[in-house]
A and B are shown apart, each in its own frame.
Chain A
């Protein structure tokens, strides 16, 4: 079964740091681009960061640039998000999501999502 399982969330004080993990199973993790997407309580989805399959290409949302670092360990089938200088505005459920091109000639989409891990900054 294709699965993504996030962990590492919790309560942290403003200015603090936290490292999220996403364990992938049931598919070839090393060949897939991955993303972090977050959702503040009662709010919509907000894309946070992207990493290519090799880790060589990385993008961040402006709201987290300079504070968050995405990384991956293909040998461990794991995705990470190192978060520092956290503020209450970072309070959210953080989801990892797999990027996949599902059709020839098509484009990428987020076809597999984890269950999310809650980060509370207070």
Chain B
């Protein structure tokens, strides 16, 4: 079975640009979460979506937004990129929305902002 997939693998942008990252969850999983992992730190929670609705948001500015589609795939959008947005962006999926559910992580998208 395919795991969580993310695209693109790597991305280079310049300050002020916009970026869209994509995630496909494991088949049958209805919840998708997004995390930002800066070098040397653990993943930081950005968003959680379940059944196309935002169900959780971390401490990130409004430049960050996301959505979930009817097929449960998800996009993370970041506007007006800053140098500090350079990080590995991880997507994780789980069956349902519950603090008990195991999350399955994708390989991440490495974003570099110049």
- Whether chains A and B associate is no
Residue positions of A touching B, CB distance < 8 A: none
